[in-house]
């Protein structure tokens, strides 16, 4: 072990502990993958899907990218979704964002970080769609928090609009979508009230979820979009 020996040592300790506490753990894990959930989350190292949901390995299928974005041209994300829906037959797709997301902040402020600017353009589209509301908020910290929430809602809408989900619903496959957000400061998940299990529910549920977000934030006039596009 020439490189990173501490990680191999930690891995060996973890494997031994798991084998001690559950002697059949690895044999069961190797023989079956049967998750009920697909988790689409942020790549942020502080938001591990299994740990924060209390689920064991094998119980949640995971796709992560910067700021939990779902883009209809992203074959990586779409391939994960297709396998989860068609092969694993997951019953729930959870889009989970988190407060304090660096990607959302960069999109909010228009910061230039290099190649990733092209990816963050999708979140800036969300920002621009809600620009009047965000501009009326009292400070950038509040805008950042609100945009983290709005981004989750917009991304679960994007999931619903994929042909993969649409086809599943057409064949009456049980599949519910959810919009959640995670608090780094307290470790708690929050349901953003963006759950639906058929196409006709999508628009009214999304509209209500956005209205609920807007109602939680006091606004102070409209200072202009330059305060948002810092």
Of 206, 157, 147, 208, residue with least CA distance to 181: 147
Pairing of strands 60-65, 176-182: unpaired
Of 141, 149, 162, residue with least CA distance to 123: 149
Distance of CA 100 to CAs 12, 68, 193, 227, Å?
33, 13, 20, 19
Other CB atoms within a 10 A radius of the CB of residue 104 amount to 32
Distance of CA 173 to CAs 33, 91, 196, Å?
19, 8, 13
CB-based contacts of 191, cutoff 8 Å, min separation 6: 178, 179, 180
Sign of CA dihedral 47, 52, 54, 59: negative
Residues with a known catalytic role:
42, 44, 46, 98, 101
């Amino acid at each position: 072990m020439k490189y990173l020996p501490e990680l191999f040592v930690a891995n060996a300790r973890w494997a031994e502990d798991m084998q001690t506490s559950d002697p059949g753990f690895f044999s069961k894990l190797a023989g079956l993958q049967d998750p009920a959930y697909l988790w689409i989350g942020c790549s942020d190292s502080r938001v591990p899907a299994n740990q924060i949901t209390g689920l064991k390995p094998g119980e949640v299928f995971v796709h992560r990218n910067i700021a939990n974005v779902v883009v209809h041209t992203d074959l990586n994300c779409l391939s994960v979704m297709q396998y989860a829906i068609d092969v694993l037959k997951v019953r729930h797709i959870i889009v989970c964002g988190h407060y304090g997301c660096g990607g959302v902040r960069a999109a909010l402020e228009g910061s230039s970080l290099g190649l990733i600017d092209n990816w963050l353009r999708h979140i800036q589209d969300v920002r621009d769609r809600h620009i009047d509301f965000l501009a009326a908020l009292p400070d950038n910290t509040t805008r950042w928090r609100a945009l983290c929430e709005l981004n989750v809602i917009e991304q679960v809408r994007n999931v619903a609009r994929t042909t993969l989900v649409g086809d599943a619903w057409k064949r009456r496959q049980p599949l519910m979508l959810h919009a959640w957000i995670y608090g780094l400061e307290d470790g708690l998940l929050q349901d953003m009230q963006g759950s639906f299990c058929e196409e006709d529910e999508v628009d009214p549920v999304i509209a209500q979820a956005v209205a609920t977000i807007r109602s939680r934030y006091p606004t102070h006039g409209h200072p202009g979009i330059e305060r948002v596009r810092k």
